[in-house]
């Protein structure tokens, strides 16, 4: 949901955006779930044509990563990406703990359990693949989950998103807010799973690593937490199936590079995490956020 808000808020006034979000939130909770998901797909389809800048960027990124694919394949994949994200938006608004158990299947929970048994907390590396909010909700039904996020504007929408996550049992640590650092430490003391999305170019501590054949400015928070707290790391992502059911895949605990040179270990492990994200995207290209300016910074 936060991904859509960041893109659409530039086109709409603050009040208009809040009103639209409120209407969608109410509608998603009142209509049958399948209808809400179908409506989300329609919103995504329309957005493909109403957001030309994001459409062109998605097409450009797909052409760059898949130079041998046909123009038709690129356009179809870009459109499916928008439709998928539209569905994801309404799914997040309509979901509840009971429903998430019926529409999400988890594979590899035993891998997360192995990491949790170490008692040091778990770094859960993931990305904007599939419906990542549903994944967090599904995993939180089995293990305590916290997530790191950036505050979005306007504030009422940020509050809405935090309430939706809390309803699923997810604690959100809002970066740069008072108490955020203490909350991060508490995650590992309480042996919780810390979900970190690390596939976007953002203004956080990062390094350049290879991503889809090009250097990409990549957040190092996951590797830093693992090195600092000596916590195990798992990698997880979620895939939308043809019937709009979802499957979560969890791998690990991962074997990290630990040479004692923290700076180099962080870079090496960040590159490893990024490669796993890349492989997951290549298996499901229509379910990643191709409109993001992933390669906007270059060394």
Residue 163 CB partners (closer than 8 Å, separation 6+): none
pLDDT tens-place string over residues 42-96: 999 999 999 899 999 999 999 999 999 999 999 999 999 999 999 998 898 888 8
Closest CA to 12 of 63, 172, 23, 159: 23
Mean per-residue pLDDT, 23-40: 75
User: What are the structure tokens assigned to 266, written together?
Assistant: 């962080």
The pLDDT assigned to 2 comes to 56
Tell me if residue 111 falls in helix, strand or coil.
helix
Closest CA to 41 of 89, 91, 83: 83
pLDDT tens-place string over residues 110-121: 999 999 999 999
Whether 21 has a pLDDT exceeding 60, the answer reads no
Largest CA distance in the chain: 55
CB 97 within 8 A of CB 169: yes
Alpha carbons 77 and 65: distance in angstroms, whole number: 12
The pLDDT assigned to 95 comes to 82
Task: Please report which confidence band the pLDDT of residue 266 belongs to, taking 50, 70 and 90 as the band edges.
Answer: very high
Task: Please report which confidence band the pLDDT of residue 97 belongs to, taking 50, 70 and 90 as the band edges.
Answer: confident
The pLDDT assigned to 44 comes to 93
Task: Please report which confidence band the pLDDT of residue 231 belongs to, taking 50, 70 and 90 as the band edges.
Answer: very high
Q: Sheet of 246-251: strands edge to edge? A: 104-107, 246-251, 233-240, 122-126, 193-197, 145-149, 170-174
The pLDDT assigned to 33 comes to 85
The pLDDT assigned to 175 comes to 81
pLDDT tens-place string over residues 270-299: 999 999 999 999 999 999 999 999 999 999
The pLDDT assigned to 164 comes to 82
Pairing between β-strand 246-251 and β-strand 233-240 as defined by DSSP bridges: antiparallel
Alpha carbons 248 and 261: distance in angstroms, whole number: 33
Structure-token match 């509608």, residue found = 27
CB 92 within 8 A of CB 3: no
């Amino acid at each position: 949901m936060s991904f859509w808000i960041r893109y659409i808020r530039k086109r709409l006034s603050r009040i208009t955006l809040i009103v639209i979000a409120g209407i969608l939130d109410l509608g998603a909770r009142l209509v049958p779930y399948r209808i809400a998901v179908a409506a989300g797909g329609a919103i995504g389809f329309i957005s493909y044509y109403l957001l030309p800048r994001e459409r062109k960027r998605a097409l450009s990124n797909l052409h760059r990563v898949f130079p041998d694919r046909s123009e038709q394949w690129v356009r179809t994949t870009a459109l499916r990406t928008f439709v998928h994200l539209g569905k994801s938006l309404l799914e997040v608004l309509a979901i509840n703990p009971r429903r998430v158990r019926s529409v999400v299947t988890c594979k590899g929970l035993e891998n997360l359990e192995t990491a949790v048994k170490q008692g040091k907390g778990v770094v859960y590396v993931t990305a904007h693949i599939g419906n990542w909010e549903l994944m967090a909700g599904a995993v939180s039904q089995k293990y305590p989950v916290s997530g790191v996020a950036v505050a979005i504007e306007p504030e009422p929408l940020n509050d809405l998103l935090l309430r939706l996550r809390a309803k699923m049992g997810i604690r959100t640590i809002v970066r740069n807010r008072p108490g955020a650092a203490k909350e991060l430490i508490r995650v590992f003391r309480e042996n919780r799973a810390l979900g970190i999305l690390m596939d976007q170019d953002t203004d956080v501590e990062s390094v350049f690593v290879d991503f889809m054949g090009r250097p990409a400015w990549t957040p190092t928070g996951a590797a830093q937490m693992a090195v600092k707290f000596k916590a195990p790391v798992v990698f997880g992502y979620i895939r939308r199936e043809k019937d709009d059911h979802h499957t979560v895949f969890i791998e690990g605990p991962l074997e990290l590079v630990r040479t004692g040179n923290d700076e180099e270990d962080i870079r090496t492990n960040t590159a490893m995490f990024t490669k796993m994200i890349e492989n997951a995207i290549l298996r499901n290209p229509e379910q990643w956020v191709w409109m993001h300016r992933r390669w906007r910074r270059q060394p």
